[in-house]
């Protein structure tokens, strides 16, 4: 096996909450348990959703809990030229194409073809601009997702499959507003940073097939994936900034770590953060 490299990749849309702490701790524990390297990547490509200063708050919260990256963090906002290179490769290979459709163009094309509205999430793109822009100005760039279903084996969830063509269709890599899409940025960075193991929250599992599709299109290796259990609030809703999850209070890092360990099945004790983490690595090994 190539040397283990893992990462925690928060979007700086606010401080870490109890749910994001679980993903942070799990990725750190898995890297340590494998004698590997652990990185932090600030995923600030969706600039309208980013909160100024949240990146530093997150790094400070991690540090207070003893979760220190082995290499300096990288910021996606500084890596646009790398995403452009990957996009150019896909365009040159005919695997990606410019799209001139607005949301209402897409809704109209779907209605005309008798497709029912999806219950949530994005409209499944009907592929209108695959054959050219039809005189419209280019807006976004999409990848062709018309291959066979993607199968993968999650280290926790087991065998998974998704027919990307039917489930999401040709998805956006470069947005009409000029921003890079998460799917492209995450795949390029996981590749360039040599990530062998992606450990992250289960809410992201649904993105994995799109990411594997992109890795294959770009000729990249696919890392192993482990999606961690979600933390739910008292009402059974997944914790997220949207549902008002509060920032973890790192003035008591042992309490934060203990709470984050619980959904992971990691019961550790220790008088200091260092002792707790060492015990947690042993517990992670033993699971
Ligand atoms: N930046 C993403 C998020 O905070 C996580 C990306 C990932 O771990 O792949 O939801």
Q: Of the residues 14, 190, 204, 240, which should be mutated to test ligand 1's pocket, given the most ligand atoms within 8 Å of the CB?
A: 204
Say how far apart CA 201 and CA 241 lie, in whole Å.
14
Q: Which two tokens stand for residue 247?
A: 């920032």
Distance of CA 7 to the CA centre of its chain: 11
Q: How far is the CA of 131 from the centre of ligand 1 (A)?
A: 33
**Whether the Cβ atoms of residue 150 and residue 164 lie closer than 8 Å to each other:** yes
| The total number of residues written for the chain in this structure | 287
Q: How far is the CA of 11 from the centre of ligand 1 (A)?
A: 6
**Dihedral sign of CA atoms 49, 50, 51, 55 in order:** positive
Give the mean pLDDT of 157-165: 97
Strands in 15-125 per DSSP E: 37-42, 74-75, 96-99
In this predicted structure, which of 78-92, 114-128, 163-177 has the lowest mean pLDDT? 114-128
Q: Is 117 part of the annotated catalytic residue set?
A: no
Say how far apart CA 30 and CA 26 lie, in whole Å.
6
**Whether the Cβ atoms of residue 184 and residue 174 lie closer than 8 Å to each other:** yes
Q: Is the CB of 200 under 6 A from ligand 1?
A: yes
pLDDT of residue 195: 98
Report helix angle 80-92 to 182-192, nearest 10.
Answer: 100
Q: Which atom of ligand 1 is nearest to the CA of 186?
A: 9
**Whether the Cβ atoms of residue 8 and residue 38 lie closer than 8 Å to each other:** yes
Q: Which residue has the tokens 């592929």?
A: 127
Environment class of 160 (CB within 10 Å of its CB; exposed 0-12, middle 13-18, buried 19+): middle
Environment class of 12 (CB within 10 Å of its CB; exposed 0-12, middle 13-18, buried 19+): buried
Higher-confidence position of 154 and 104: 154
Say how far apart CA 146 and CA 281 lie, in whole Å.
42
Q: Which two tokens stand for residue 234?
A: 């008292």
pLDDT of residue 118: 63
Q: How confident is the model at residue 111 (pLDDT cuts 50, 70, 90)?
A: confident
pLDDT of residue 241: 65
Over residues 63-106, the pLDDT tens digits come to 999 999 999 999 999 999 999 999 999 999 999 999 999 989 99
**Is pLDDT at 1 greater than 70 in this prediction?**
no
Q: Is the CB of 204 under 6 A from ligand 1?
A: yes
Q: Which helix (H) or strand (E) holds 277?
A: helix 273-286
**Is pLDDT at 117 greater than 90 in this prediction?**
no
Q: Of the residues 10, 190, 226, which should be mutated to test ligand 1's pocket, given the most ligand atoms within 8 Å of the CB?
A: 10
Q: How far is the CA of 208 from the centre of ligand 1 (A)?
A: 11
Q: Which residue has the tokens 């695997």?
A: 95
pTM attached to this predicted model: 0.95
Mean pLDDT estimate for the chain: 94
Over residues 231-254, the pLDDT tens digits come to 877 777 777 766 667 899 999 999
Q: Which residues pair with 9 in a beta bridge?
A: none
Q: How confident is the model at residue 123 (pLDDT cuts 50, 70, 90)?
A: confident
pLDDT of residue 121: 64
Tally of CA atoms within 13 A in the half-sphere of 174 that contains its CB: 21
């Amino acid at each position: 096996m190539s040397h283990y490299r893992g990462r925690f990749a928060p979007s700086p849309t606010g401080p870490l909450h109890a749910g994001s702490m679980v993903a942070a701790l799990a990725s750190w524990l898995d890297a340590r348990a494998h004698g590997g390297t652990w990185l932090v990547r600030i995923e600030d490509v969706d600039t309208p959703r980013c909160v100024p200063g949240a990146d530093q708050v997150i790094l400070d919260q991690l540090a207070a809990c003893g979760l220190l990256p082995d290499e300096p963090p990288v910021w996606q906002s500084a890596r646009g030229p790398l995403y452009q290179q990957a996009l150019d490769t896909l365009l040159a290979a005919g695997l990606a194409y410019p799209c001139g459709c607005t949301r209402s163009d897409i809704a109209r094309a779907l209605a005309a073809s008798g497709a029912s509205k999806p219950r949530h999430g994005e409209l499944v793109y009907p592929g209108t601009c695959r054959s050219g822009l039809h005189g419209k100005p280019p807006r976004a760039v999409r990848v062709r997702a018309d291959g066979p279903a993607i199968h993968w084996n999650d280290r926790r969830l087991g065998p998974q499959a998704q027919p990307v063509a039917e489930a999401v269709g040709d998805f956006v890599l470069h947005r009409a507003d000029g921003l890079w899409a998460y799917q492209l940025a995450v795949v390029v960075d996981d590749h360039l940073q040599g990530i062998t193991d992606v450990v992250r929250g289960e809410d992201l599992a649904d993105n994995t097939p799109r990411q594997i599709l992109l890795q294959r299109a770009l000729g990249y290796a696919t890392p192993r994936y482990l999606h961690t259990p979600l933390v739910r609030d008292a009402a059974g809703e997944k914790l997220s900034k949207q549902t008002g999850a509060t920032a973890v209070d790192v003035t008591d890092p042992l309490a934060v770590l203990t709470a984050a360990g619980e959904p992971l099945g990691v019961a550790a004790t220790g008088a200091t953060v260092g002792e707790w983490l060492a015990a947690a690595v042993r517990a992670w090994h033993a699971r």
